[in-house]
Structure 1
Amino acid sequence: MSDKPIDGRMTDDARGGVTVFLIGMRINKFRALRSWWPVSRAMPRMLKELSRDPESGLLGYRLLSGGPRVLYTVQYWESKEKLFAYATAPDKEHHPAWAAFNRRMREGHGDVGFWHETYVVPAGAHESIYVNMPAFGLGKAAGVVPVGRRGERARERLGAA
């Protein structure tokens, strides 16, 4: 998708439910490069692998920085089942990366921190609006449509009109 703003009011075109997965790391000791550098390199490899496989269930993602110490990713998935399937697949990038990360965590004595949050959002329990924006967030992951197709107000888009 283009990074060019789309004129007017748009909303996401997600059909059904969506799973939102936030995952990140915090560099606690910058000098401990051996602890955090490999961790920071693993996520782009996994996202590349997932992006090449339309059946993976990953709808889209955004890599973000929460300041000089925090790197994280917002991911949009078709379902929690597809997220769990990837996380436990022995033949995918996640499995060796997770094993290496756990080893570094034990050896690093707190050099790097880790967190994740998972939100399972049922159909009809989310809404979005993008005004004069390029496709962004869930809209970039699922596509966008004019607001009128899903309701002019947030209340309508959430099915609470």
Structure 2
Amino acid sequence: MGDAVVEGRMTAAHEGGVVVFLIGMRINSYAAVRSWWPVARAMGPMIAELRRDRSEGLLGYKALCGGPREIHLVQYWESKEKLLAYASAQDRHHRPAWAAFNRRLREGRGRVGFWHETYVVPAGAHESIYMNMPAHGLGEATGVLPVGRRGDRAADRLRAS
């Protein structure tokens, strides 16, 4: 959807459940480029692979900077089953990247940190609002529609999801 401002009060068009997957890395030692650079580079091919094949289940993502040492990604997935299937697929980029990362983590002695969190959000347990801004977050991943279609208050939208 790009940077075009959508005027008014909008909400994500997504109905049903969604999985929110947060993943990030922290550079603990800038000098240890061999420890953190491959980790930072590994996400690009995975995202490209997932964008090429929408059936894998990735709805959308957003890269965030958590300060000078941290990189974060917020990902929206169709289901936990699709997320876990991608993570364990032998023929996808994730498995070899994860194996290489684990080797570097053991060898790196704390020079790079890594984390992830997964939230399975059932239908009716999420809502959103975007006011006078480009589509963002779940709205960017799944499209937006006027708030009035789901209710003017957050409580209304939570019931309508």
TM range (shorter): over 0.9
Match of 1:125 in 2: 125
Match of 1:69 in 2: 69
Q: Which amino acid aligns with 2:74?
A: V
TM-score, normalization by structure 1: 0.98
After superposition, where does 1:103-114 map in structure 2 within 5 Å? Answer: 103-114=103-114
Q: CA deviation at 1:96?
A: 0.6
For structure 2, the 5+ residue unaligned runs are none
Q: CA deviation at 1:2?
A: 2.5
Distance 1:135 1:2 in 2: 8
| Cα deviation code 1:32-81 (max 9, x no counterpart) | 00000000000111011101101010000011110010001000000010
Distance 1:142 1:124 in 2: 16
Distance 2:122 2:7 in 1: 29
Distance 1:25 1:56 in 2: 23
Distance 2:26 2:45 in 1: 19
Distance 2:46 2:26 in 1: 19
Distance 1:47 1:135 in 2: 20
TM-score, normalization by structure 2: 0.98
- Percent of aligned pairs with the same amino acid: 70
Q: CA RMSD in A?
A: 0.8
Distance 2:45 2:70 in 1: 18
For structure 1, the 5+ residue unaligned runs are none
Match of 2:31 in 1: 31
Distance 1:2 1:90 in 2: 33
| Cα deviation code 1:114-150 (max 9, x no counterpart) | 1000000000100000000100000001110000111
**1:158 partner SS:** helix
After superposition, where does 1:85-124 map in structure 2 within 5 Å? Answer: 85-124=85-124
How many residues are paired up? Answer: 160
